[in-house]
Amino acid sequence: MTDAVDAAAPLPLDALPEQFRRHIDPNSPPPLRLMAAQGLVPMPPGSLVTALYMLAADADDTVASTADSTLQDLPSGILGSALAEPLDIRVLDALAQRFIHQAAYIDAIVMNVAAADETIHWIATKAKERQLELIANNQVRLLRHTKIIEALYFNPNTRMSSVDRVIDFAVRSGVYLDGIPAFEEAAKALGLEAPEPGGPPPQAPPGADLSTEAPPGAPMDEAGGEDDQGFAQYLRETLAGDDAADESGGEALSDLEREFGGGEEGGEGAAQDLDGYESAEAPKEEEEEKKFGRMAEIGKMKISQKVRLALLGSKTDRGILIRDRNRLVCMSVIKSPKVQVQEAISYAGMRNISDEVIRYIAAKRQWQKNYQMKLALVRNPNTPAATGLKLLPHLRKSDLRSVTSDKNVSHVVSTQAKRMLKR
């Protein structure tokens, strides 16, 4: 069961018509319950599926396992018909999880107004394009349970055009999506201003389609436009690369991290690691070609696509996007939940990215616990002087000396470092 659908509360006997209850009653003889578990008691589709769901939790293991198998192997005509009925939310939730990879059944659950919003939210995190289009077209649910919009945004199977549409709908409805770290950037990429967090209750904008089903003629079976197809293909490839890296024991360090250097927090040689960032060797020819290919593809993307890629894409994607001239894009990168401290350190060492990114990094207290982060920020001339001065006392003497001789360090910070060394 999904988190918000209570599986612990069993269905009462009156969930079934009276004539079928004796076949489900725990006090009935096991052979009677087993007959129902085998699907041998004639029932309408909705009652049969509900009965099997209840019997699958029977105290008798034979009855329970038989009901579970029968439910799994029900003919598609019977199960499909049942899923169109207003079944209990617990039954629909369990069936959604059981049949998540069977599109026709998930279609029916998504279209069923009796399904819990929490169930649809869960489906939105797992489903394929067709089901996601159905979900995106149901503005009643989107307005009632805004976490569904966030799930659509982060599911790479959701068309980019659909993502733009639901973000537009959210903004115009006064919804602030705090589950999307770069929501303000996503809204601005569409020429919109995100509402203030904690504002008044959401309200559908004029002209919103508040039907409970996808409007007639919705393009659910179409392949989508050229932009949709191109972005979807890129996203699939970049995420497949992430999956392959995970299987081989974790993604290798990005080009940026290799250039910048790693090391344990507070370990010796932090200054040398930073110096290595400036003098790193060029990538191999094949890697360089691949990277330039990615840069070319990303360069063709719309701003809203780049913002979404910043949150969903790989380290390589983020390493390209962090240098984007559009502040919405680079700020989306640094707000990505995928960015860990070592990656953030590599960005803190860059002098050709937005000052706003550096200020965001400098304001993140969790990252400032890392010694290399402190050093990188001190040595970056784009770091606010007040932040650099605050971090100086945390540096070792050897690193203070390197700061005083670094021509790229701000004059204010360099001067203070010299004073500290004279004490």
CA 148 to chain CA mean position, Å: 11
Do 295 and 279 form a contact (C-beta atoms < 8 A)?
no
Q: What is the pLDDT of residue 282?
A: 47
Instruction: Please report, as a single letter, which amino acid is at residue 176.
Output: Y
Task: Quote the tokens at residue 363.
Answer: 């304001």
What distance in Å separates the CA atoms of residue 200 and residue 210, rounded to the nearest whole number? Answer: 20
The pTM of this model reads: 0.83
Q: What is the pLDDT of residue 277?
A: 44
Do 58 and 65 form a contact (C-beta atoms < 8 A)?
no
**Which residues have a Cβ under 8 Å from the Cβ of 293 and sit 6 or more positions away?**
none
Length of the chain: 423
Residue given tokens 């000052």 in the structure block: 355
What distance in Å separates the CA atoms of residue 17 and residue 44, rounded to the nearest whole number? Answer: 10
**Which residues have a Cβ under 8 Å from the Cβ of 422 and sit 6 or more positions away?**
none
- Given a cut of 80, whether residue 262 has pLDDT beyond it is no
Region 358-369 average pLDDT: 93
What is the per-residue pLDDT across 48-86, written as a single tens digit (0 to 9) for each?
999 999 999 999 999 999 999 999 999 999 999 999 999
Q: Which residue has the higher pLDDT, 278 or 304?
A: 304
- Given a cut of 60, whether residue 119 has pLDDT beyond it is yes
Region 411-416 average pLDDT: 93
CA 158 to chain CA mean position, Å: 11
Q: What is the pLDDT of residue 227?
A: 76
CA 393 to chain CA mean position, Å: 38
Instruction: Please report, as a single letter, which amino acid is at residue 401.
Output: R
Among residues 282, 255, 260, the alpha carbon closest in space to that of 272 is found at 260
Region 191-205 average pLDDT: 84
What distance in Å separates the CA atoms of residue 377 and residue 330, rounded to the nearest whole number? Answer: 17
Strand segments, DSSP code E, in 34-140 are: none
What distance in Å separates the CA atoms of residue 273 and residue 276, rounded to the nearest whole number? Answer: 5
Query: Where does residue 191 fall: left (phi above 0), alpha (psi -120 to 50 degrees), or beta otherwise?
Result: left
Region 234-241 average pLDDT: 86
